[in-house]
Amino acid sequence: MTRIPTTITCALLCCLELLAHPGTALVTDLHNNVYFAYWGGTWKLSSTGKVERVHANDFHFLAMDVTGRFSDAKLPDVLRISSDAGKPALYAFPEYPAVFHTDGYLYLAPWSPGRIRLDRLKPDGQKSTFVDTAIDLRVARKPGRHEGGLLAIASGSNDFLYVSDGASIWKVSPGGLTAAVAENIGVSDCAHDLPAELPKPHIRSLAVDANGNIYAAAIGCRVVLRIAPTGQITSLLRAENPWSPCAVTIAAGDLYVMEYDNPLAEYPADGRPRIRKITQSGQVATVQVVEKAKR
């Protein structure tokens, strides 16, 4: 792992205040090591329980290139965390969520209020707009409901992508067609002890398992939702005050969840994350509680 400090502009920081507090980056590698974005860099939780910062940067989104197809690619505004050789390779993104998809391409979800927009990047560096369509006015951005642009993206089976703007979830076909999975999601057991300015359910992260179940970290309700292929929505995991889930990922059939003790955290001293895991058998365990960073 390299350790090169990275800076970002004031304009980008202003954007991140809207998009990425607390951080929503959570990925795993083939060895069940967990990587997450926390204040001051990219952190690694090893399978043995050791926590260390592996890179100093201010980026808030992560994606893992499992195939290594992008090992020689020149990706503008993207930070390669892993060394230049080998695969899989870990990348950090400053402005918006991204995913290396099953079709071999990299998909970016640039901030575009009121729209479902995805850009596609090929290993040779060629970039194009894959999807750019308006969100139905009936479920479009509403004050106090959600922020209006895509906040989460995940790769699913059969080359389908899944995206969320915080209030709804859509799937995107290999041909770029969008279809609603769940719109204006309501959570009957949504927590009522969160700050009033935090939207509900405010989905910040998605993961999809091999059976087509979608998992959504609803930070505005202190709950992880499971959306079955039939469309049925259930509350899979609740977090007790002060914790609330902000990121999910799947590894070896187990679901990893990152939660923060302050859902509005903007600075290191404002909050800290913990990592929990739900096994395939349904057992829940706290893998790690990270010490609060210092200013």
CA angle 201, 265, 184 (to 5 degrees): 10
DSSP 8-state class, residue 27 = E
At 5 the pLDDT is 35
At 140 the pLDDT is 62
d(CA 125, CA 136): 32
49 three-class SS: coil
At 10 the pLDDT is 31
CA angle 195, 94, 108 (to 5 degrees): 100
Hey, which CATH number is domain 10-289, 3.40.50.300, 2.120.10.30, 1.10.3260.10, 3.30.70.360?
2.120.10.30
At 85 the pLDDT is 67
Q: Report yes or no: 5 and 57 within 8 Å, Cβ to Cβ.
A: yes
At 11 the pLDDT is 32
- The position carrying tokens 């927590």 is 191
Global pTM reads: 0.90
**Mean pLDDT of each 10-residue bin along the chain, 295 residues long:** 34 37 86 88 90 90 91 86 81 93 95 92 92 84 62 95 95 96 93 89 95 96 96 96 96 94 81 93 92 71
At 58 the pLDDT is 84
At 137 the pLDDT is 73
Closest of 61, 101, 110 to residue 81, by C-alpha: 61
d(CA 88, CA 70): 10
- The position carrying tokens 């389908």 is 160
Listed by start position, the domains of the chain span 10-289
